[in-house]
Amino acid sequence: MLNLLNGRTHRVITAICLCRDGTPHCLAAVTSRVTLKHLTRRQIRAYLCLINPLDKAGAYAAQEHGDRIIRKVEGSWSNVVGLPMERLLRELRKLRPPLARAS
């Protein structure tokens, strides 16, 4: 997988769905673009000795030594790691009930 992504840009897409009382209130997808460095076979092997690629989408972990293989991330970093926190927090704030006003 890393050989296929080597030196290229790919998209990481994560969907979120928030429900209240069983009713969906938010369905969204967040897309980030990740560009990997041009890596030699030796660099790829060394990276794979640092992480377990078998339980990672794309066979890499941005949060685990990602600086060794990632050249650039465009968009949400937390999306690449696994959950687009910025978007999730924005949507959760929309669902929060309004505060009662003091009389």
> What domains appear along the chain, each with residue ranges and CATH number?
2-87 (3.90.950.10)
Token pair listed for 46? 């060394």
**pLDDT value for 46:** 96
Q: Is 1 in a helix, a strand, or coil?
A: coil
On whether the pTM is more than 0.95, the answer is no
**84 closest CA partner among 26, 14, 25, 33:** 14
**pLDDT value for 101:** 60
**pLDDT value for 57:** 84
**pLDDT value for 103:** 57
List Cβ neighbours of 93 (8 Å cut-off, separation of 6 or more): none
List Cβ neighbours of 56 (8 Å cut-off, separation of 6 or more): none
pLDDT along the chain (103 residues), means of 10: 95 93 87 98 95 89 94 97 94 75 59
